[in-house]
Structure 1
């Protein structure tokens, strides 16, 4: 299996930047992009989409509760229960996956988002060296973890 190239990875950086800018009218600051380790620490709310077909692996969006709540409030959502926060972070992961399909081709199959609450949500899902994008939006830290390979 071949690893993703810089252009492939940039689409995830651009996708999370665009998503937050469009939904909140405030662009996030990308604070770093690096190869992670199995000791990667995430946040309480995690949305995970699995890829198969032309690429195998997954993308994980990991955000603290306060960030997800603020995004929902900006969208005039009044239901701020944990179950709705999980749905929101799952939808963000699904949006990133859909954008990936547009760039990586229709042979990329994406799963329904899996939503995991808890700080270990990322640890259980990543391999040895995933690509990690950290960001700051409105003083809140968040992370997108891209853990996938090209099949051909």
Structure 2
């Protein structure tokens, strides 16, 4: 028997103000769109913004539905919008902010598993990492240099080809 050790590294910023200017603006956009999320059932609001290689910014927020779980997460709303409006333009970075009407979200909240798999698809297709910055409503911001830090043993098209 052999063992496999998998390691991930993250950068941690104590506040949004410590982020590089371009990323700070990206996170501010995620916070702004988070406030307009449609989350009447979970009371958990998420905003995501994406910086593209052409310097365009695309944003999305979670959209719930009474037929739970047929809604869509903010990260996927944003990434699918980027793919629809700017096909074949690589994604440089994604910023995510999450809050709850039920409890304080002061710790960084990463993307869910379904969103990680979606981001992986885009990262693999563009053959370049996507920097992912994530936070709660306030407080620290974590940075992942690549989706592979969040999903190290990812499932991709090469798995079954």
Using structure 1 for the length normalisation, give the TM-score. Answer: 0.28
Q: Scaled by the length of structure 2, what TM-score is found? A: 0.27
Which protein is bigger by CA-based radius of gyration? 2
**Higher strand proportion (structure 1 or 2):** 1
- Which has the higher relative contact order, 1 or 2, with Cα contacts under 8 A spaced 6 or more apart? 1
